[in-house]
């Protein structure tokens, strides 16, 4: 694995140098939203049934008023909006401000939602939201690229009201005895350059199990193509 990692790093040496100089991150954060605007609809098509089934449970976590207050961490281009129930009061967060024009486009196409606010913030720092402020938190393909999963999940618990739920869909580390995991470890050091910090081998399930949720509903799925290092996923929800 280390030898193959070095070979890949050598092939991508110019990008590695730019990253060390702090230039690659500045450039790619501007480009990444355009990449995701193309990739997200393709991914959504692959997991449409799974997302539809997962988010069909959102309404049951609405507050006493019957209106659902939802926070999405790492909203990106707004690819999940079509799955949210009508009248949903939405707060969006993303650390990359360059997603804004794509977010507004998605909102114009999903007028059944009510945007309360959009905040430029990472999942590790949701200080603009009060304790117990939301009924539901949604996070899809985000925990792979955050700096600290445990800190994000701690913030999720803080902003959720008692009885609220955290919905997730994340690509994760494969079984450690598989070839998929082997290639995940080989590609990990360079994958972050193209996935805005994304890691292929995060053990996200273990972090969810360690977090103080009262209930965890989780299952593993594989997304096509099955040979891809991003194929292994977990999907489900956890209740505070």
What CATH number is given to the structural domain containing 78?
3.40.50.150
Q: What is the DSSP string of 148-176?
A: -HHHHHHHHHHHEEEEEEEEEEEE----T
pLDDT in tens, 28-65: 999 999 999 999 999 999 999 999 999 999 999 998 88
Q: Taking the alpha carbons of 94, 121, 193, 231 in that order, is the dihedral positive or negative?
A: negative
Confidence of residue 92 (pLDDT cuts 50, 70, 90): very high
pLDDT in tens, 169-203: 999 999 999 999 999 999 999 999 988 899 999 99
Q: Is the pTM of this model over 0.85?
A: yes
The two beta strands, 232-239 and 215-222, are: antiparallel
Go through the chain and tell me how many residues it has.
240
CA distance 53 to 100: 28
State the total domains in the chain: 1
Per-residue exposure over 24-58, b if at least 16 CB sit within 10 Å of its own CB, e if not: beeebeeebbeebbeebeebeeebeeebeebbeeb
Structural domain range at position 49: 1-239
- Per-residue model confidence (pLDDT) at position 162: 96
pLDDT in tens, 208-224: 999 999 999 999 999 99
């Amino acid at each position: 694995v280390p030898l193959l990692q070095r070979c890949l790093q050598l092939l991508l040496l110019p990008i590695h140098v730019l990253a060390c100089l702090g230039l690659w991150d500045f450039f790619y954060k501007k480009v990444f939203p355009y990449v995701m605007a193309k990739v997200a609809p393709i991914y959504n098509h692959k997991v449409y049934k799974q997302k539809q089934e997962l988010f069909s449970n959102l309404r049951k976590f609405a507050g006493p008023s019957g209106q659902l207050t939802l926070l999405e961490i790492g909203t990106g281009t707004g690819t999940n909006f079509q799955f949210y129930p009508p009248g949903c009061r939405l707060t969006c967060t993303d650390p990359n401000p360059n997603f804004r024009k794509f977010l507004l486009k998605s909102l114009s196409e999903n007028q059944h939602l009510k945007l309360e606010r959009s905040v430029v913030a990472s999942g590790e720092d949701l200080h603009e939201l009060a304790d117990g402020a939301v009924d539901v938190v949604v996070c899809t393909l985000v925990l792979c690229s955050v700096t600290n999963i445990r800190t994000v999940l701690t913030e999720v618990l803080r902003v959720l009201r008692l009885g609220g739920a955290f919905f997730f869909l994340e690509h994760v580390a494969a079984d450690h005895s598989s070839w998929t995991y082997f290639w995940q470890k080989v590609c990990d050091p360079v994958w972050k350059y193209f996935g805005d910090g994304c890691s292929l081998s995060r053990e996200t399930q273990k972090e969810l199990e360690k977090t103080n949720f009262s209930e965890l509903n989780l299952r593993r799925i594989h997304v096509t193509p099955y040979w891809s290092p991003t194929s292994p996923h977990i999907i489900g929800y956890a209740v505070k």
